Amino acid sequence: MSYVAGYCLALDLTAQCNLGPARAAGHPWTLGKGFDTSTPVSQFIPIEKVTDPHNLPLWLTVNGDLKQNGCTADLIFKVPDIISYVSKYMTLEANDLILTGTPNGADAFKAGDVIQCGMADLAKLTFQVEAE
């Protein structure tokens, strides 16, 4: 995996209020996915600091309540397989991010919620959800 420079923690958020009507009207999913601040991303973690990308604990809390608790070992596909698949359909370049999935327990956030999430002791994100 010499083509992987490192890892990060990222959340792929969805504006359900936009996604449902967009899908019903035959519009693309991007109307519910591509909004400002839709993908919070942690700091970059050089590959040298990640001993096993397929065994990293992941967690997420909402207002202090644990909602997701998983591990990259639970991914259906390994990172090299995901990269191989994606590269068949688009050109991957330096600094591209590929989001690999989420542990069980993903749920809707509401304005005012405080979200904290982490990946092992390597990355942590904290933010408060704001209304549009």
Which has the higher per-residue pLDDT, 55 or 35? 55
pTM beyond 0.95 = no
Structural domain includes residue 51: yes
Structural domain includes residue 1: no
111: containing domain: 6-128
Structural domain includes residue 113: yes
Give the separation between CA 106 and CA 96, rounded to whole angstroms: 24
What domain count does the chain have? 1
- Per-residue pLDDT for 19 more than 80? no
Burial of residue 53 (number of CB atoms within 10 Å: 0-12, 13-18, 19+): buried
For β-strands 123-128 and 114-119, DSSP reports them as antiparallel
Give the separation between CA 74 and CA 22, rounded to whole angstroms: 31
Could you identify the residue written with the tokens 């596909």?
A: 77
What's 73's domain CATH number? 3.90.850.10
Q: How high does pLDDT run on average in the chain?
A: 90
Structural domain includes residue 60: yes
Give the separation between CA 108 and CA 6, rounded to whole angstroms: 29
Structural domain includes residue 52: yes
